Amino acid sequence: MKFSDMPFDKMVKVGNKHYLRENWFSVNWLLGRYCNYSCSYCWPYANTKVKDHRPIGIIKKTIDLIFNQSRERGFDKFSFSFSGGEPTFHPDFFEIVKHIKTEEISKINLTSNCSRSLKWMEQLAKYAKDLSVTASFHVEFADPKEFLKKVKFLKEAGARIQINIVLLNENFDKMWNHAQYFYDHGISVQAKIQIDYVNGTTIERKYTDEQLNKIWNGFPRITKSEYIFEMTDDSGRIYLVDNAERALGLGFNRFKGWLCDAGYRSIILTEPNGNIMRHYMCLDKPLGHIETGFKLYDGPRECITEICGSCADCKIPKYKEKSCYSAPYLGSFKQ
């Protein structure tokens, strides 16, 4: 079945399959908005040339609080996803990783432009067995061959790799060819539409139907183990999509009124304001602040947000009805 033919209107339970089946706690952390690139299509709020990183002491204290509160709720596996800006420029990046790895069952997910040197990548490769990298290719700054060299180095070290490429309509064919180049070298590729993340659904650039069909259905993951976004329809049939980004691109991102685990088994830490939220697009009040602490919910809560405009948000388990809820971890419903 083509991804675009799936019966999204019949789905009653969605999320990352590991979160639906196991007791993982998810942390998304914008380590800072500083980025060494200045891509023409980047949103103004998403990058800065000013170093805006929090001190390592505050970060370690926050990590410990995450461990303690999530364990109280029955979670003992931890997934930390770092993005920015460019997160690898945090001056204490490896100290942060080391602190997380004091927990036996923990993994690191990194969204990076892979602009750091190969020597720097050698340090990162020490954590390869518990590392997933979303390598963002930006043609305005990166050379495809050099980019591929670094990505292949991490993959050969044992890291899980996906390349993200934003396809703009004015250079669609050129970027598609770059995506095909990486895919032909055995690297999974996510071709992405340009989305207005403030509104969640507006495609900023006009695409033809042919271009959209290619984006929606192109570059399926190379191995089935990479199909991690699970959806269950009202008959109990399970569908697996390779990435929540795929569903988001197809407009499957409206969950208002559904029960959602965001704020209970996941949080996001944002910079430069330091707020700790349920997740990126959630309109709820902050759970707290990195300087003063936070309090997780005691169970899933109803979504009050019209549009879930981030794939990171979409992968957090959601249940259309309370009867759809089943999980191997502790918790109660808070409406």
pLDDT at 197: 52
| Closest by CA position to 205, among listed 252, 176, 172 | 172
- Rounded CA-CA distance 120/110 in Å is 14
- pLDDT tens profile 195-238: 655 544 444 457 888 988 888 889 998 888 888 999 999 999 99
Share of the chain above pLDDT 90, in %: 69
Band of pLDDT at residue 334, cut at 50, 70 and 90:
very low
pLDDT at 316: 94
Residues in Cβ contact with 260 at an 8 Å cutoff, skipping those fewer than 6 apart: 278, 300, 301, 302, 303, 316, 317, 318, 319
Q: What pTM was computed for the model?
A: 0.91
Instruction: Tell me which architecture the domain covering 3-324 has in CATH.
Output: Alpha-Beta Barrel (3.20)
- pLDDT tens profile 164-193: 998 887 889 999 999 999 999 999 998 887
- Provide the residue type at 332 as one letter: S
Q: Is-contact 211 167, C-beta < 8 A?
A: yes
Domain boundaries, the chain: 3-324
